Amino acid sequence: RGASAELGEVRGRLPLLQGALDRSEAELAERRARCEALEAEAEALRGERDELASRLACEEAARREEGQEAAASIAELKEINAQLCGHRNAKQKIQYLLKVKQDNEILRGERRKLESLLTSLLAAPPSGDGAASLRDRYARAEAALSRV
């Protein structure tokens, strides 16, 4: 009777164990399906990531090329600017500007002298004949201009 009681007990537990096994198999099937879905989603995301990385690399290369073109353009424009200004370095430019200032001061001084001379000639009283004195004053002004 011991073996038969044991057999009866096992047969009684069999439906419970079979139910637990069925539930475990169903849960395993759900988890496998979920895992497959997650793997498919991960694969899709990897593809999207690869596409984005490729696009980003292309854009980065384009931006790098644009940057190099801009740098080359800047260098070219600096060279053109230096040629137009007649100076390749800052020291030359400073010396040139100092020379221009000196020349301007000399020209301003000459202009003041000429203005003074013109004022004195126009203010001088006419001597004798009107046309002759005008010619005299003009000749003196021309002579003064040639000396300056």
Structure-token pair, residue 130: 């009107």
d(Cα 121, Cα 138) in Å, to the nearest integer? 9
Give the pLDDT confidence of 66-98 residue by residue, as tens digits: 999 999 999 999 888 777 776 667 777 788 889
Q: Are 114 and 148 in contact (CB under 8 A)?
A: yes
> pLDDT for 5-57, tens place per residue?
888 888 888 888 899 999 999 999 999 999 999 999 999 999 999 999 999 99
Q: What is the pTM of this model?
A: 0.41
- What do you get for the CA distance between the two ends of the chain, in Å? 149
Let me know: does 96 contact 86? Beta carbons within 8 Å. Answer: yes
